[in-house]
Structures are given as C-alpha cells and as structure tokens.
C-alpha cells in the first residue's frame, strides 16, 4: 500500500509540468517545485483507488455488470441527454452476448472497463482461473469494441495482494473500487438510490451503481440533476485518475532521509 502511494506521488511529480491535469488545474505555488523533479523517474505503476484527491467538484459515475440488453441502452440514452460520460465495468460474457451495446458505450464517449468474464470472487480462484477471467474479458472488449481497457473492478471488490500485483504490474490495469455504494442491487427503490449517491458524493468520488437494475436506471435522471445542482461535473474513471492532485506539500524536506509514507486514506479496501 505504501509503495503504491509512493509510486503515485512520483508519477504525479513526473507529469506535473505541462501535463493535461496541470493545464486544467494549475498546481498551487507550493506544489510547483517538488523535491522529486530531479530524481530518476520510475515507470508509471498503476494502483488501486476508491477515490482520488482533487479540489475540483468532479465525480466518476460507474456502472457494473452489463451490458444489459434493455437497461444499458436506456441508461445510455439518459447519459446522452444529460451530456455526461460514465464508466462501464462490463462482464465479458455479456459483452460477447451484446456486442452492439459494448460498441455503443465506446462510440458515445464512455469508458469501457474490465469486470471479469463470469463475475466470480477472484480471490477464490486459482492463478490460472483468475488470469483467464481477466484476459478473456480484456480480449473480448478489444475485439468487439476496439478499445483495450486500462481499468478493472474486481467483482464484489474482492482483491488480495496476489491479484493486485497481477492486475497492476502484469496487466497494467488500475484497480478501481468505489467511495459510494448505494446497495442498489438490494432494490431499495429509485428515491433511496438517488439519496444515497447524492449524500455520499464528495470531490474525486467514485460512485458505484449497476446497469442491470431497473431501479438504478430510473434513479439516474434525478441523481444526475441533484449532483449537477450541487456543482458536480462528471468524468470517466481514467479522466478522474489523470486529474488527481498531489497531497499538500509536507514541511520543508531535509536534505537526506526517507520520504515519509503518503496518506493511505483513499486506498482502503472495503
Ligand atoms: Zn459486479
């Protein structure tokens, strides 16, 4: 966990000057000079996120378990009307069953992401089974939608160190969990789904929902309207990661000594 944070930090300092994030949100003066600028830059190492640190009122709306033959197109209509982009963590076998919907997700500017082939608890699979779930899903997404996913959400959020290492280091997939879970799969009704998502929203948050639940789709117009009224904008998960900001600068660093570990607040596992 600590090393992942350290890697993120290095990555951010690496990207700071002239990077897209910096242009969109210039760093404060205290962040413009970082002690890491002159050190060798390690390759980017993906990591695990429940949310990201940002001062902007942005959120990533995410939908799991589709594509669903009727509900996903209905959701895509709503997102188009609202003019917002979301992230779809799709199940490989559903992509194979509904390739046109997977293509539409990509064509309309949304992010398509890996959510395994059969939706198992990956921690209960052997290494070979886990790899097949990941690889087959990436392959079908790439084949059908022409897009190689860069993010993955393990089913149930179930992950361990072995799987995290494989996903992030071997498959170059960022592990995306969530900061708000409305428990929409328990079918609490659209009004409750809306209330839970809106109440839980914070800048940099990742909202979890399921596009295989009719009540969730029904909740979306009101949810999006209320979040917009609170000043939130919507980005895909990858856009959210690209816009993440460094933690506040620590007290002036001493010339030598180890770099203190970064806060782990946004990297908890549910
Ligand atoms: Zn799922």
What are the contacts of 75-83 at 24+ separation with CB within 8 A?
Answer: 75/211, 75/217, 75/220, 76/101, 76/104, 76/105, 76/108, 76/110, 78/217, 78/220, 78/221, 78/224, 79/108, 79/110, 79/220, 80/108, 82/221, 82/224, 82/228
Residue ranges with CB less than 5 Å from ion ligand 1: 64-65, 155
**pLDDT tens track for 174-191:** 999 999 999 999 999 999
Residue 44 or residue 124, greater confidence: 124
Mean pLDDT of all residues belonging to the chain: 84
Would you state the pLDDT for residue 64?
98
Q: Residue 115 Cα, ligand 1 centroid: separation in angstroms?
A: 7
**89 contacts 64 by C-beta, under 8 angstroms:** yes
Q: What is the mean pLDDT of residues 158-186?
A: 97
Q: Residue 114 Cα, ligand 1 centroid: separation in angstroms?
A: 10
Q: Is residue 175 helix, strand or coil?
A: strand
Provide the annotated active-site residues.
64, 210
**pLDDT tens track for 3-43:** 333 333 333 333 333 333 333 333 333 333 333 334 444 44
Please name each of the domains of the chain with its CATH number.
2-6+49-242 (3.20.20.370)
Q: Residue 155 Cα, ligand 1 centroid: separation in angstroms?
A: 5
Predicted confidence band at 260 (pLDDT cuts at 50, 70, 90)? low
Q: Residue 148 Cα, ligand 1 centroid: separation in angstroms?
A: 19
């Amino acid at each position: 966990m600590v090393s992942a944070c350290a890697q993120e930090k290095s990555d951010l300092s690496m990207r700071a000057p002239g990077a897209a994030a910096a242009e969109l949100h210039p760093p404060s003066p205290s962040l413009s000079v970082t002690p890491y600028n002159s050190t060798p830059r390690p390759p980017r190492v993906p990591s695990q996120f429940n949310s990201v640190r940002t001062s902007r009122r942005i959120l990533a709306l995410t939908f799991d378990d589709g594509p669903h033959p009727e509900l996903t197109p209905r959701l895509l209509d709503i997102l188009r009307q609202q003019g917002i982009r979301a992230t779809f963590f799709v199940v490989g076998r559903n992509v194979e069953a509904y390739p046109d919907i997977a293509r539409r997700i990509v064509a309309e500017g949304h992010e398509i992401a890996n959510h395994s082939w059969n939706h198992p608890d990956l921690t209960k699979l052997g290494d070979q089974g886990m790899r097949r779930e990941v690889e087959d899903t990436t392959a079908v997404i790439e084949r059908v939608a022409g897009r190689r996913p860069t993010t993955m959400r393990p089913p149930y959020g179930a992950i361990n160190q072995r799987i995290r290492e494989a996903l992030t280091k071997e498959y170059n997939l960022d592990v995306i969990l969530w900061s708000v879970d409305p428990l929409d799969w328990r079918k609490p009704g659209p009004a409750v789904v809306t209330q839970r998502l809106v109440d839980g929203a914070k800048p940099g948050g990742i909202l979890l929902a399921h596009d295989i639940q009719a009540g969730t789709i029904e909740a979306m117009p009101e949810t999006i309207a209320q979040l917009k009224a609170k000043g939130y904008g919507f980005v895909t998960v990858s856009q959210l990661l690209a816009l993440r900001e460094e933690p506040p600068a620590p007290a002036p660093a001493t010339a030598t000594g180890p770099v203190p570990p970064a806060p782990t607040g946004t990297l908890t596992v549910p």
